Amino acid sequence: MGDELALVGLECWGHHGVFEHERREGQRFVIDLVLGLDIAPAAGADDLSATADYGAVALAVKSAVERDPVDLIETLAERIATVCLTQDRVDWVRVTVHKPDAPIEATFTDVALTITRKAGSS
């Protein structure tokens, strides 16, 4: 069992989706992350360089969401996982992509996809 660092509710604006209006107008995406890592070295040394910098992770993920539109949230989630796994000390990541304004002709609260990826896996 390892340690987990969570970043919840990162709001981003992206132009992802299969419909032309989604690409043109864009919409809100909300990202939740759980990073799996060993925090013991950072806690013992009280040193930011010995852990994942969640501020840097947040900015990298925001940038990943706000660039290059894709059709599917599945593709977007994989992109975000790849970004997170490039961070030093991150062993695994759980990414949830929320698309609360998805174009669905029904009343709903959210559409969300969650994936888990490990460092060194393809």
Which positions are annotated as active-site residues?
A: 99
Q: What is the identity of the amino acid at 38?
A: D
Give the burial string for 89-110 (b: 16+ CB within 10 Å, else e): bbebbbbbbbbeebeeeeeeee
Please give the helix or strand (H or E) that residue 44 lies within, else none: helix 40-45
